[in-house]
Structure 1
Amino acid sequence: MVRGKIQMKRIENATSRQVTFSKRRSGLLKKARELSVLCDAEVSVIIFSQKGRVYEYSSSDMQKAIERYSKYIKEVQNDKPEMERYTQQLRLEAANMVRKIELLEVSQRKLLGQGLGLCSVDELHEVESQLERSLRNIRARKGHLLKEQIEQLKAKERFLQEENAKLSEKSGGGQWQLLTQQKEAVTCSGQRSQSSEVETGLFIGLPENRGV
């Protein structure tokens, strides 16, 4: 059977209240011991019952823990004015930031052509001047970027021309070598043809009888 959720209010029955106090007190002190052991924390618990009995637990000396707590409270109280001044300063800075953001939003709407119905002539002139300055800055930035792109394209063009010249040089040298080899081959073939056309008769006998 699932136990229902206990409503957080004073238990009217004295006996039930005492039983609950004993159980919850034991559980609280047990959790305090576990917290001090598991987390290496300095834990001190003081419990006063309805009848004035005192139950306590301290992972160290209780008196030292109380003195340490008292010292901490005094330091907090002494630092309280300084903390209040710091908090007030943060609030003022936050309020100033909110006002600046509102002004920037109004200025942005005006630059977009919105909310101009309540603007005076001077305000409209100021908006116009801001737009002209912005336009000059945009054009200057655009011109700078276009100039960089043109320089990059020129550098790429020079690189391609150099690569093309190198390739043409290599290709031309190979053709000249091929033409030279072909010419030498034709020359050798012609010499062999002329040698084959020379009369190579064999005559045995004295020289004077060759014409007979």
Structure 2
Amino acid sequence: MVRGKTEMKRIENKASRQVTFSKRRNGLLKKAFELSVLCDVEIGLIVFSPRGKLYEFSSSSLQSTIERYRERTKEDTSSTTMEQDAKRKYEAEMLSKKIEDLEASKQKFLGEKLDSCLSGELHEIERNVEKSLRSIRAMKDHLIEKQIAEQKEKVSCLEKGNALLREKVNQLRRLPSTAAKEVPSTSTHGQHTEIDTELRIGRPGMGTHGM
């Protein structure tokens, strides 16, 4: 009967977990012993059970195996540290060399320390300088064109504003003047009022025939 493949996860059942631990622990110790005898190697094995119980195997002395392991890890750590230090030193030297080369190139571009340059190197420097000048002029022209376009835009906005103001002034001038107002006449729209000029003697309201 073919056994199924065991899924690698924690066994939840406590009893099954303890049985599996006992079987696998004994198998592991047996394999360690066989490997040490068959291949003549030094093996140290330490196992702690879930309850903290210690199981160990060593082909010689477990303490000496542990000390040997510590010494080896110190050597590996020291070797790794030395390699890292050497790598950092190399990177620092390369960076310093690049800085020196850049400084020398900058001085040559400025026309300094050209005595040691050969004809071909001087020609190369001249070409690089001309190329840089073309780039600088192109950028300068671009900035000037941009500024001119911005000024034109401002002038256009001002002209539009002035045109609107002139239109408003013209509209105000075309309006009728309200300074001269019509003065009303004392006559009652063409109707004449008759004035009584007859002379009367006596109290007001009495006729002349009462005298």
Q: TM-score, normalised by structure 2?
A: 0.50
Bigger CA radius of gyration: 2
Match of 1:168 in 2: 166
Q: 1:79 to 1:171 in 2, by over 3 A?
A: farther
Counterpart selection for 1:85 from 83, 86, 102: 83
1:150 aligns with 2:154: no
Which residue of 108, 120, 123 corresponds with 1:122? 120
2:177 to 158, 176, 181: 181
Q: Which residue of 1 aligns with 2:133?
A: 135
What is the deviation of 1:154?
1.0
Q: What secondary structure is seen at the aligned counterpart in 2 of 1:151?
A: helix
TM-score (normalised: structure 1): 0.50
Task: Name structure 2 gaps, 5 residues minimum.
Answer: 1-66, 196-211
Amino acid paired to 2:177: Q
4+ aligned runs moved over 4 Å, structure 1: 70-77, 198-204
Query: CA separation of 1:76/1:155 partners in 2, compared to 1, >3 Å: closer, same or farther?
Result: farther
- 1:173 to 1:125, Cα distance in 2 relative to 1, 3 A: same
Q: Which runs of 5+ in 1 are unaligned?
A: 1-69, 205-212
After superposition, the Cα gap between the structure-2 partners of 1:88 and 1:143, relative to the gap in structure 1 and judged at 3 Å, is same
Aligned-residue offset at 1:117: 1.5
Worse overlay, 89-98 or 159-168:
159-168
Q: Secondary structure at the match of 1:181?
A: coil
Report the structure, 1 or 2, having the larger helix content. 1
Report the aligned-residue RMSD: 3.1
Report the alpha carbon displacement of residue 172 of structure 1 after superposing the two structures with TM.
Answer: 2.4
Q: Count the aligned residue pairs.
A: 127
